[in-house]
Amino acid sequence: MADMLQFDLVSPERKLASGQARAVQIPGADGDLTAMPDHAPTITTLRPGVLVVEGENGEERYVVTGGFAEISPEATTVLAERAYPAAGDEARAALQGILEEVRGKAGAASGAEKDVFDKTADDLAKVIDGL
């Protein structure tokens, strides 16, 4: 088993990261997952959240607003709608904008749909608080 995989994080504006990683924690739309060397081939959509890369130089964190990830045994490529280093104000502002949008949709929804929007808003608020 290889101990590293190729990792690339790109958005429409730029390539944010490229290098070797031991693991990549991905905020998948159907739940969080961790890509590691020799991972089964997988494609998943992303939900807004924090992507964590464990690389040669320690841990790096990025905020993604959506997109998808393609995982293979040798590489993980994340194609994000928007992505920012988690340490910057830009990341917090992007997630705050998404949170406000979700809260607005929750206010206009009812029943099970409202419950989904409320849960999503709670999850986003926790991510923002963790930055």
Tens-digit pLDDT profile for residues 84-103:
998 878 888 888 898 899 89
Of 38, 12, 10, give the one whose Cα is nearest residue 23.
Answer: 38
Q: List pLDDT tens digits, range 53-85.
A: 999 889 999 999 899 999 999 999 999 998 999
Return the axis-axis angle of helices 89-108 and 111-130, rounded to nearest 10°.
160
Are 62 and 104 part of one and the same domain?
no
In this structure, the answer to whether residues 31 and 76 fall within a common structural domain is yes
Question: Are 15 and 78 found together in one domain?
Answer: yes
- 72 and 39 inside one domain: yes
80 and 34 inside one domain: yes
Residues 65 and 113 in one domain: no
Give me 51's structure tokens: 């992507």
* Cα–Cα distance measured from residue 99 to residue 68, given in angstroms and rounded to the nearest whole number: 20
Judgement on whether residues 99 and 79 belong to the same structural domain of the protein? no
State the pTM of this model.
0.82
Cα separation of 53 and 24, whole Å?
A: 5
Q: Residue 55's domain is classified under what CATH number?
A: 2.60.15.10
Q: Pick the last residue of a domain from 85, 104, 120.
A: 85
